[in-house]
Every structure is written in structure tokens, then in C-alpha cells.
Amino acid sequence: MANLTGSATFKALLRKLETTDPKHPDTWNPNYQTLIDNDVFLKAFADEVNTARGGKASLADRLTGIEQTQASLSPEYIDELTAAVKYALDQVGVANRSVQALKQQLQQEGELLIENRGVVSGCTVTKSTTAARNLNLDAGVCFAKGRAFSVLSGNNMASVPSNISTGSASVVVYLYLSANGWKMAVTAIGETVPVGAIRLYTVTIPPNSTDATDPTLANITLTSLRRVELGFPQYLDTPVSQFVAISTLSANDYRIDFEVVSAEGAPCERKSLNVASRATNGFTLELASAADNVRVRYRVSKLNN
């Protein structure tokens, strides 16, 4: 049996049947088709309205929500929202700068190594009279590693390098600990003093100073660098000191805390560390101990900076 198929076409009129119409399906089917088309049209419209509700109980509820959203997106609301977001971002920036200042400035931490070496007596250096460009060492006592050591004298123990340049140069005479005790040596031009050495003298070498031009070292200058501590280890006339640079603070009334991590050769307590002077960009730490290679951890605090 065939069916009538509706299409979404709406008609507002139906042909009125007359008593004279033939009693035949061709008379009724056109009206039935119009009714079915109207039903399909209304069903499509109803589906569209139901979709437009967006899950709300009614289309009116959905329209009310849209109106409220539109009101919240008004220029006035946008301005208020922008101002609130900007204020929040500004506060985040302030907090971030405060945290950064707390980590890098208001509380600063670091570690340093203090070397405590020198001469108790003797250990003077003179120019040799028996060999070209050589140096002699007088006997004495040096201190390092927290204790005193005897230093034997020696002639021609080290030589001064030639300077063939057109400008003055300088080298350093130092003591180093060998398998046979403390010995004297001289750095090469441009060379640094080895770790663990004890500086004795600076040698200033004039231009064009060689074995041929100055074999007796008549034109070179010896300047003592010796740190002499006659009372070692009982007392120190010139305690070793070291400047510690910090990020600049507003004033020098900051707090400093110390921790002695390690020391060599002698006891070293917190009370052996003394702040000799302080500035807004650093402080000078003084060591009142015979210990050598003292590793110190420090913290600088100024929360009211």
C-alpha cells in the first residue's frame, strides 16, 4: 500500500469538500497531503526551537541568559574587567619583584675560602753573586696548614726570567711545599702563583733585561710581600682579611651570619671570624685563627632594605 510523504511546506488553506464531490481518494488525498506537509513543517520548526533552548527549560530561559551575558559584556563591564586584570597583573609583578629581591638582595648567601699563610721569621731573598740572574734564600720559619715549618737556606735556588719586551714585567718569588720541605721558586712572566704557595717578593724586571744585559740583576727590584707573624700561632699582628662583595643594600646595618664549613691544621670556630668593616656593597672578614684554608659560608640579611 502506498503512503503519502510530507514535505516542510506550510499551507494555510484546505479545499472544502462539497456534497457533489466524487467519493474517491483523488478527492481526499490532496487535502491529506496538505495536512501532512503542514505537520512536517511544524515538526521542523519545533525541533529548531528545542535546539535553540540550549538545554534550558524553555526558550524564554535561554533568552534571559543571553540578555544577562550581553549585559555583562557591556563597555562598562569590559572596562571594569580590564582594570581588575591589570591590577592583578601589577600585584603579581610586585610580588615577583619582592621574591626576587628576597632571594638576591634582602637575603644573600655565599661561600669563601680564606688562606692563612706567611712567614714567622727569616725567609729573605737576595741576589746571587755567584751565578747569573739567580736568587738566594735565607733560612727561616714559615707557616701554612695551621702549623709552622722550618725553611732551609739555599744559594741559587731560583732564577729570574729574562724580559725581552719593551715594557717592564713582574714575577713573584714564592715558597712551595715539596717532598723535601719548603723550597723557593719564581713564576714565569704572566704566570700566577700556584695554589698553596707562600708569596715572598715581587720582582720588577725592566725592559730588555737578559743574561747578557743584566747578569747580576743590578737593575731589577725586589719588593717584599712577606706577611711576617712573629707570634704565630699564639697571636697574629696582622690577621688575614678578605673583602666579600654583596649586592648593594640601602645601608650597612645588615645582619651577617657565618658557618665554618672546614679548616686545616688548627681549630677554627665562629668566634674566630670578625667583621673588620662593612659597606653597603660588601664587608671585610678577618680571621683570628692559626687555621689555613678556612672555608666559610655566610648569609647577609636586611629585610627592611
Strand arrangement of the beta sheet that strand 118-122 belongs to: 118-122, 140-144, 147-151
Cis preceding-peptide flag for 233 (omega within 30 of 0): yes
β-pairing, 125-127 vs 118-122, is: unpaired
- Which of the listed ranges 73-77, 85-89, 258-262 does the model predict with the highest average pLDDT? 258-262
Sheet order of strands, 273-279 included = 241-245, 282-287, 273-279
- Torsion, CA 49, CA 51, CA 54, CA 56, rounded to 10: 50
Please state, in angstroms and rounded to a whole number, the distance separating the CA atoms of residues 49 and 229: 101
In the sheet with 221-224, reading across from the earlier edge strand, the strands are: 181-186, 169-178, 198-205, 221-224
Tell which phi-psi region holds residue 123, choosing left (phi > 0), alpha (psi between -120 and 50) or beta. Answer: left
Does 103 score more than 60 pLDDT? no
Confidence band (pLDDT; 50, 70, 90) for 178?
very high
Q: CA–CA separation, 288 vs 237, rounded Å?
A: 10
Can you tell me the distance from the alpha carbon of 239 to that of 233, in angstroms, rounded to the nearest whole number? 11
Percent of the chain surpassing pLDDT 70: 92
For residues 89-102, average pLDDT: 62
Predicted confidence (pLDDT) per residue in 282-304, tens digit: 999 999 999 999 999 999 998 88
When pLDDT is cut at 50, 70 and 90, the band that residue 92 belongs to is: low
Residue reference for cell 526558550: 59
Choice between 178 and 24, residue whose per-residue pLDDT is larger: 178
Using alpha carbons, list the distances in angstroms from residue 43 to 38, 51, 125: 9, 12, 115
Q: Once rounded to an integer, what is the mean pLDDT over residues 176-183?
A: 96
| pLDDT of residue 130 exceeding 90 | yes
Indicate the pairing of strand 221-224 with strand 241-245: unpaired
Mean pLDDT over 179-201 rounds to: 96
Handedness of CA 58, 64, 67, 73 (dihedral sign): negative
**Which domains are seen in the chain, by residue range?**
107-115+234-301 (2.60.40), 118-224 (no CATH)
The pLDDT assigned to 19 comes to: 80
| The pLDDT of residue 188 is above 90 | yes
Is a pLDDT exceeding 90 seen at residue 51?
Answer: no
181, amino acid identity: G
- Arithmetic mean of pLDDT, 230-257: 93
Query: Of 8-12, 27-31, 123-127, where does the model show the most confidence?
Result: 123-127
In the predicted structure, residue 277 carries a pLDDT above the cut 80: yes
Q: What is the pLDDT of residues 62-77, one digit of tens each?
A: 778 777 776 666 677 6
Question: Which pLDDT score is estimated for 190?
Answer: 94
Q: Is the pTM of this model over 0.85?
A: no
Please compute the mean of the pLDDT values over residues 239-254 and round it to a whole number.
94
Residue 229 CA neighbour count, 13 Å, CB half: 24
Rounded CA-CA distance 286/281 in Å is: 17
pLDDT tens-digit map of 13-39? 877 778 887 877 777 678 778 777 777
Residue 116 vs residues 60, 162, 249: alpha-carbon distances, Å: 89, 32, 29
Query: Cα–Cα distances in Å, from 153 out to 50, 165, 226, 247?
Result: 110, 32, 16, 47
Greatest C-alpha distance within the chain = 157
Closest Cα to residue 33, out of 61, 9, 4, 10? Answer: 4
pLDDT, tens digit, for every residue of 202-216? 999 999 999 999 999
